[in-house]
Structure formats: structure tokens, C-alpha cells
Amino acid sequence: MLTSDQIRAARALVRWSARELAERAGVSLPTIQRIEAADGLPSTSVKTLDAVRRALEEAGVEFTPDTSDGEPGVRLKKPR
């Protein structure tokens, strides 16, 4: 499950506005704003989170599992 922090960080990595993420994920801007404003796990549907994840992954973002500090993260995929 994605956290709000991961979504904000992923969007920053690809230099997208919230509006651009909303358009690419096929959700509304207020939905993105609400997701990003949440603490921890956003309160939204699995379908919406999947759409956001897919859009960011297609842009080159990789969501990482919990790291040594216990926090999930994000990074840009290495070019092949």
C-alpha cells in the first residue's frame, strides 16, 4: 500500500504538478490533494491508489519496500 509521503515524493521526482498526476492517473485534482494531505495511508479506494501508482511507475518511479529505517521509499528506476 502506498503512503501519502511516497506519493508526494514520487511526484516530486518526476517533477509533476498535482494536476498533471491527476490527469495521468485519471482522477480528480481534489482527490490527489486529499491523498497527499493525509498522514500515512491515504483514505481512498484501492482502484484510485492503483491508478496513481501505475501513472507514477510509467513515468519511471519505483516504490521501495520498508528500508533499514523502517520507512518505505521511492526512487527513479535505473535505465537499462
How confident is the model over 66-76, as pLDDT tens digits?
Answer: 766 667 889 99
Taking 90 as the threshold, does the pLDDT of residue 78 lie above it? no
Q: What CATH architecture is 4-65?
A: Orthogonal Bundle (1.10)
The per-residue pLDDT for range 16-52, each reduced to its tens digit, is: 999 999 999 999 999 999 999 999 889 999 999 999 9
Cβ burial 14-43 (10 Å sphere, 16+ → b, else e): bebebebbbebbebeeebbeebbeeeeebe
Query: pLDDT band at 6, cuts 50/70/90?
Result: very high
How do the domains of the chain map onto residue ranges?
4-65
Q: Which residue has the higher pLDDT, 78 or 23?
A: 23
Query: Can you give the pTM of this predicted structure?
Result: 0.89
